[in-house]
Structure formats: structure tokens, C-alpha cells
Structure 1
Amino acid sequence: MRRRGPAVADNLVYHVAEFGVEARRVETGERVWRFGGRTEGQPEIDLVSTPVVASDSVYVPGWIQRDTMYGHLFVLDAQAGTEQTRVELGRNQEMGRSTPAVTSDLVFAATDAGDLYAFGECGTSILDSCLID
């Protein structure tokens, strides 16, 4: 059984519904935006775990149906719901039962296979590889 819950920040509540994530106003319940799920003419993005809100971003794990066999961590703008970026994990690295953890410097994501990933901003890179100080 998959467990998921809402996240609340800046008068918005974020929750997973019908394989997408929605932001709704706390006071009225009015939907502000929706990302993922089934959209006509677009690849189906399935989001099934608790979203995490930190700073101006929403972090939510999922995958793209019929696109790859890779899990993804989607990063959305908290106010607009637009995709800021996505991180592709390894083959068959689904995060369906995982909730990301966010610190001031890193985002941690655990996969169903037991692997743990840490993502952060990269100040210096060579050949698309991040150099750690």
C-alpha cells in the first residue's frame, strides 16, 4: 500500500490526486495548479508520493509512462506548478514509496531498490560532472 499525505506552505496545500500533484488554496480549496497525471496529447506523468515543499520548490517523485523505465524526481515551482527541472534516476529506480528529504544544500531521494541519491547545486563542473570541494 502506498502512503501519501499533503504538504502545506504559503497558504497552499499540495497533494497527489489522480497520478498528478495539485496545489489548492488553504482557505477555499480552489485549485491553483495541477502537474502530471493524464493530459491529452502529453506523455502520462505518474506522481504517487507525498510532495515536499522547500523554499520556492515542490519535490515529488514519479515516472513518465511509456517513455523510459527510469524513475524521476520532479522539481516544480511552488506558486505556478511549472516544471523547473527533473532528475532521472537509474534503470528501474522507482521512488513510488519514497518521500524526498530536503536540507538547505541537498535533496535526498531513496528508491524502491534501496538506493539513496543526493542532489545539490553544482558550482564547478568538467565534462558535465560535478566537482565536489
Structure 2
Amino acid sequence: MIALHTNLPGKQGVFLKLKLYLKELGFTIAENSNYHGYFNGLLSSQAERKLYLYLPYRVLQEEHNQPSVQIEFGNPQIIHHADIRYFDSFQAYLHKPDLYDWKLKGEQAVQQIINHIDNNL
């Protein structure tokens, strides 16, 4: 897991509008409960190794999928998923120069989302 330092935590928006926008960017949604969930977007896929941008949120009012439900984003992260058979080779995949590159890519993707929230919601 790579923690990203962005201005996304605390940003709020209408759930259904954000869901549609993030779906256009290739994100999927997972709802942990009626009050928490996250959006996942694929940043990189190389063989058995995948890096995802993880955007957690919490519901501020009402229930999921209501037209006016408001959400607030938490701290974005990059999550890696690798087939356990390739775990040792995956450790080399995230050495320091690569870590910096993926962190930068993740932060740039989050900034695009922040810009959309600031300009459209």
C-alpha cells in the first residue's frame, strides 16, 4: 500500500454524480456498508501484478443510491495486487524509483478527480 498525500480527504460531492464520472474513468465501486465504501481504479497491469487507485469515502447523509446522497472522501492510496506465486518478484517491482513513479501517477490521477469535483459539483 502506498499512501498518497493529496487534497482529496474532506472533499464532498453527490454520490451518483461522482459514481458516473468515476465509472467513465474506469473505476468500480465497492460498498462496505450503507455508510462507507470505496472506488477502485486500475493504474497499472503488468502480467500478474496490478496497481489500483483506492478512493475511500463515507456517506454523510441518507442511504447509498439516493439521488442526493452526499459523500466525503478519505485518504487515497495505491493498493497492489499480485498473485502470491510472484510475491518475491513483486517486491522488486516496487523498489524506490518505481515507488516514486507510481506515487506521482496516483497523485496526478487524484488531482484530475479533485479538479472535476471543484469545477463541476
What range describes the TM-score normalised by the shorter chain of this pair? 0.3 to 0.5
Normalising by structure 2, we get a TM-score of 0.34
Larger RCO (CA under 8 A, 6+ residues apart):
2
Q: What is the TM-score normalised by the length of structure 1?
A: 0.31
Identify the structure with the greater helix proportion.
2
Structure with higher strand content = 1
